[in-house]
Each structure stands twice: as C-alpha cells, then as structure tokens.
Amino acid sequence: MLPKGAFPKGTFAEMRMKTVFGGISAHIEFLHTGADGVPLAQAFRFLAMDDDSRKRFDAAAKIMQKEGFSDTEGGSSLTGFAGLSKLRASLGRLAMKASASKKP
C-alpha cells in the first residue's frame, strides 16, 4: 500500500522509468521531503542499477546535461534538485511561448 503523502525517510524501493534509450530499473532510497521548496517533492538516491540500466541512464543524463539540465557548474552532474528547478523553469518558458504563439 502506498502512503498518501511522502514516503518515510529511509524507505527502500525499486524505480522503473523509460528513456529514449530504453527502460531503466534501479533500487533507490527515499530521503527528505520539501526539496527545492516544493512540499511534496522528495529526494532520493540511487543504490543499485544493473549494467544495461546504467548505460541507458548515463546516455540520457549526458543529453540532459548538454541541454543545460545540470545543477553544478560546468554541467557535470544531475544530483540534487537544482536540475529539476531548471527543468521546471524551462518547461514554464516553453509553455508560455506555446500559449503566446496560439493567440490570434
């Protein structure tokens, strides 16, 4: 049964996600909530990932870094939530451009 809010800190889970390079499966540990000022945002860390998933994740992360979705100087890491802030801001700008282009 899933909790109605955040997972308790220290909860272990398996995460599955899709990328343009294929599926990724990883074991994670949930950390603190309230990340990046978003009450329901919950940090997590990767604990283990099989070789195929690691290769796919690394390939996807490199593309994201190239596009500027990194939280460190020089774009070398996607850890933490600053990268998510950049992603959210970029999506917001894109949405504003899209809605502006639809106006007559």
11-29 tens-digit pLDDT: 999 999 998 899 999 999 9
Angle at 36 between CA 70 and CA 38, to 5 degrees: 135
Residue 48 has pLDDT above 70, yes or no: yes
Cα 96 to Cα 41: distance, rounded to the nearest angstrom = 23
pLDDT tens digits along 58-92: 998 888 888 887 665 554 444 444 555 555 555 55
85: left (phi over 0), alpha (psi -120 to 50) or beta: alpha
Cα 31 to Cα 49: distance, rounded to the nearest angstrom = 18
Q: What is the pLDDT of residue 77?
A: 46
Q: Which residue has 């690394």 as its token pair? A: 58
